[in-house]
Structure 1
Amino acid sequence: MHYKVLGKSDLKVSTTSFGCKSLPATNPEESIQLLQQAFTNGINYFDTADLYDKGENEKLVGQAFRENRHQVIIATKVGNQWRTDGSGWDWNPRKEYILKAVEGSLQRLQTDYLDLYQLHGGTLDDPIDETIETFELLKQQGKIRNYGISSIRPNVIREYIKRSNIVSVMMQYSLLDRRPEETVLDLLQENQIGVVTRGSLAQGLLAGKPPKTYLGYSEQEVKKVIEAIQNLVTDNLSMADVAVQYVLHHPAVASTVLGIRTQTQLQEALYIPNAEALSNNNLNFLQQSLHPLLYEQHR
């Protein structure tokens, strides 16, 4: 397993990390065993959110690591408030709500601090300074060690770069979503803010699932990317290896979050960091297989 420091923080995170969202709560013992096995084999960064399964996901993570809490890096998220009738959630980045929500996350995770607390979205209409003030207060109180945002919106990311002490941004990034390459990745690198990626296998399309339309790409365009990846597959390099190694090639990227719910997915995630890095020629070959999309909104 390889590790990188996340931005300006003191968090040294595994370059592939465990996305906990898809863990089934119906079989908690199996899910907890999978989390523990990941840690034993070198994954130290676990990503969850209070939104996932109405907090049950955080409970699984808390149970898995209550005996070795200080050896793992737990990242969770805040900002989506469940309605009292359970029908859905509303966006709430206000101070009062965050201060209440963090207590719930700490309790469910069976810990007295969070390594990384992330705003789970964000818009320019938010009370951004109030949100930042709240995260800074939680740092002073020792309830969080660092904070970041989970966002794909360049205009929101720029505001947090200017106005806050975020150490990370979580964003979607893959060969089928290269929008961050236009400006955001380099900007974050310049400001020593780490990137944690999600969606790097594009719903499994870059790991063997049949092609279909994705974002602004047609099924035929997606097929061209898949074929380009397949051209680089060897006995020691799977499609998933190629897809994730592409994402990890940018120096701003510290870790890629992979959704893991089975033993097979875990074993693949454990192997990826040890796969051979892509050469510049291969990177160029992949990039030339399809034109990159650009952000149309929130620029």
Structure 2
Amino acid sequence: MEYLPLGTTDLVVSRVGFGGMSLDPVAAASPRLLARAQAAGITLFDTADLYDHGRNEALFCAAFRNCRAQVVLATKVGNQWRPDGQGWDWNPSKAYILQAAEASLRRLQTDYIDLYQLHGGTLDDDHDEVLEAFELLREQGKIRHYGISSIRPNVIRRYVSSPSRLTSVMLQLSLLDQRPREAVLELLQDNGVGVLARGALAQGRLSGKPAGDYLGHSTAEVARVAAAVTTVAAELGRTPAEVAVRFVLDTPGVTAAVLGIRTEAQLSEALRLAECPPLMAEAREQLLAAVPATLYEQHR
């Protein structure tokens, strides 16, 4: 398993992380799956208070109560469930962030969160207030590092340009969604901010699921890209998923790929991905040649 520091901090994470969003909150096997991932060398585990009304965080507690120091727990804040449980509202206020952090700590049954992330963000937010909340939690020892999870270039730029200890940005990146390469990856790399990439398999379209429209790409375009991934995989003796994730990991500035894992088979595949060597330049160029260029249509 390969490990990298997250940005310029002392937080070191496995290059493949475990995204817990898709875990079944009532399945007895879910904590065992998390524990097996940790035992096999995965150290980064990402969740959010939004997932399953907080029950996803409780799964992490069940899995890691006896090995807390060996894992990097990342969770998110900003989406507040309505009292009736029927949907949520965006709330990045300082008061809510402080309240939500306490609730996450209780569900995780831990004294600290390794990485606390704003779960979204808009230009209308009081980002100074958000940073004040994160800094207070850090000073209190309740969080060790903080970041944001956002696909909005101007929101990312705003937080990066602010005086802060921003550690990371989680964003979507895949062969079918290379918009961050156009807008923010170089900025983050230049400022020593780590990148956690989600969506490397484009909802399975790059690992065997049927082609379909995806982020402005037509079904025919998606099928062509998937075929290129399959061709490169066959030439290298790898699986399409290995090629697709390795493309993301080889992108300059990316620290780790966070993968949604919900079965033993998917975990085994993720562990193989972690051991895959980088793609040769020729293979990467072959993949890029199959992908129509896309840009952010709205730099929000």
Give TM class, smaller chain. Answer: over 0.9
Which consecutive residues of structure 2, in runs of 5 or more, have no partner in the other structure? none
Does residue 153 in structure 1 map to residue 152 in structure 2? yes
Calculate the TM-score normalised by the size of structure 2: 0.98
Distance, in Å, in 2 between the alignment partners of 1:32 and 1:276 is 29
Distance, in Å, in 2 between the alignment partners of 1:175 and 1:55 is 31
Q: Which residue in the other structure is 1:217 paired with?
A: 217
Q: Which residue in the other structure is 2:23 paired with?
A: 23
Identical pairs, percent: 57
Q: Which residue in the other structure is 1:230 paired with?
A: 230
Distance, in Å, in 2 between the alignment partners of 1:293 and 1:188 is 20
SS at match of 1:246: helix
Describe the superposition over 1:162-185 as per-residue Cα deviations: whole angstroms up to 9, x where unpaired: 112211000000001000010311
Give the ranges of 4+ consecutive aligned residues of structure 1 lying more than 3 Å apart after TM superposition. Answer: none
Distance, in Å, in 2 between the alignment partners of 1:124 and 1:145 is 25
Which consecutive residues of structure 1, in runs of 5 or more, have no partner in the other structure? none
- Cα displacement (A) at 1:292: 2.2
Q: Which residue in the other structure is 1:76 paired with?
A: 75
Distance, in Å, in 2 between the alignment partners of 1:260 and 1:290 is 26
Distance, in Å, in 2 between the alignment partners of 1:276 and 1:120 is 32
Describe the superposition over 1:224-282 as per-residue Cα deviations: whole angstroms up to 9, x where unpaired: 10011011113741000000000011231111110000000000000002113111111
Distance, in Å, in 2 between the alignment partners of 1:48 and 1:106 is 12
The equivalences for 1:245-256 within 5 A come to 245-256=246-257
Distance, in Å, in 1 between the alignment partners of 2:237 and 2:112 is 40
Paired residue type of 1:232: V
Distance, in Å, in 1 between the alignment partners of 2:207 and 2:21 is 19
Does residue 200 in structure 1 map to residue 192 in structure 2? no
Distance, in Å, in 2 between the alignment partners of 1:281 and 1:108 is 47
Calculate the TM-score normalised by the size of structure 1: 0.98
Describe the superposition over 1:137-195 as per-residue Cα deviations: whole angstroms up to 9, x where unpaired: 11000000000000011100011001122110000000010000103111100101000
Distance, in Å, in 2 between the alignment partners of 1:9 and 1:118 is 15
Q: Which residue in the other structure is 2:58 paired with?
A: 59
Distance, in Å, in 2 between the alignment partners of 1:288 and 1:181 is 15
Distance, in Å, in 1 between the alignment partners of 2:5 and 2:63 is 24
Q: Which residue in the other structure is 1:176 paired with?
A: 176
- Cα displacement (A) at 1:78: 0.1
Q: Which residue in the other structure is 1:257 paired with?
A: 258
Distance, in Å, in 2 between the alignment partners of 1:158 and 1:290 is 26
Q: Which residue in the other structure is 1:297 paired with?
A: 298
SS at match of 2:89: strand
Q: Which residue in the other structure is 2:123 paired with?
A: 124
Q: Indicate conservation of the 8 Å contact 1:196/1:256, yes or no.
A: yes
Cα RMSD, aligned residues only? 0.9
Distance, in Å, in 1 between the alignment partners of 2:201 and 2:293 is 16
SS at match of 1:96: helix
Distance, in Å, in 2 between the alignment partners of 1:183 and 1:84 is 38
